[in-house]
Copies of this chain bind each other. A is one copy, B any other.
């Protein structure tokens, strides 16, 4: 029989499995509650948001355990699994769920499962090249998770471009309670980000520093988001979309550098910049992506994961470069270029995958037995 071997072993990071089980539970909460509820902001797509998130992630962690296992811990015909492989599988799910955010409301469950199948594979290869072959450091995944997930999702969204999406625009917004459900997701992602960035860092000082830097960066990005959101609105009002998303950019931007000698003030500056850029992105860049580049980015993942991820990779290169005097630090390497994503994206266009019609996007009723007449929402 084919089998995994269950070896209870010291994880690569030198962490006690029972210690990192706690970090695992934090990351697990981010993947299933955090991402799941963050996407419930749409008024008539709450079931699909939280449940397809559940489906995708449950599939991704199994498939990714195999893919990552073959690439990283395949010995004597067996894959070695443990708490650390569970965390890495959750990390991979995170990238897929970022891509899901870009195509939210415009894809069927079958398309999403196929996307997961393809993207998990690419994620594994990309991560293997970046971390194992090139030797870059990216504990919190600015590059491997956020930048990869965002640009993969945006590429797929471009390939699935719908010129007539305005037929469903009346559903592409929130109602009062759906925005509150989304805040559950936001706060959980925000809360546990220190665990996310430190989950697989080396035990000791590195881990301690990662937690502190992530905490300060997030606090600063939250203040920046409130300030900029109020400033860019004519009447000084705040926008829930900004609070729900841009406040998290502080976690993304220090994903590469948090374990380095960033210092708390450095982390706060990075977080403040990330929150600012992300908020401005929602206001000014998302409409341009749609109208000029034909990229319809439902959740604005470009603003939350794309831009802050690239910024985080550059910051990692800068901090690593300052420390090592290396003019071209490994942290500068980004990811497989988007054209490589075209074939998988193209596959998703095939008609038998039951993509929803342009008039039925952002709509739960085509996939769910809905007991309430949603017409009133």
Contacts and interface: CB of A to CB of B under 8 A. Distances in A.
B209 A6 contact: yes
Q: DSSP majority for the A interface?
A: helix
A226 B223 CA distance: 39
Nearest to A58: B222
Contacts of A133: none
Contact of A209 (B8, B177, B195): B8
A191 B28 contact: yes
Interface in A185-202: 187-188, 190-192, 194-195
Contact of A211 (B19, B32, B83, B175): B83
A6 B238 contact: no
Q: How large is the interface on A (under 10, 10 to 19, 20 to 34, 35 or more residues)?
A: 35 or more
A251 interface: no
Interface string A1-42: 111101010000000011101100110110011001100100
Contact of A226 (B55, B173, B209, B264): B55
B208 A239 contact: no
Contacts of A59: 219, 223
Given A4-B264, A180-B40, A371-B175, A190 B32 contact: yes
Nearest to A195: B25
B263 A8 contact: no
A219 B371 contact: no
Given A184-B184, A223-B55, A371-B173, A18 B21 contact: no
Contacts of A179: 47, 371
Nearest to A262: B6
Contacts of A369: 233, 237-240
Contacts of A342: none
A174 interface: yes
Interface string A208-234: 110110011011101100100010010
A174 B372 CA distance: 8
B180 A368 contact: no
Contacts of A204: 8
A377 B176 contact: yes
B50 A187 contact: yes
Contact of A62 (B183, B268, B371): B268
Interface in A152-190: 173-177, 179-181, 183-184, 187-188, 190
Q: Which 5 A-B pairs have the closest CB atoms?
A: A58-B222, A176-B372, A8-B205, A8-B208, A58-B219
Given A33-B188, A36-B183, 16 more contacts: A3-B263, A4-B265, A8-B204, A8-B205, A32-B187, A33-B191, A46-B176, A50-B180, A50-B183, A51-B243, A55-B226, A59-B219, A61-B219, A109-B230, A176-B371, A238-B367
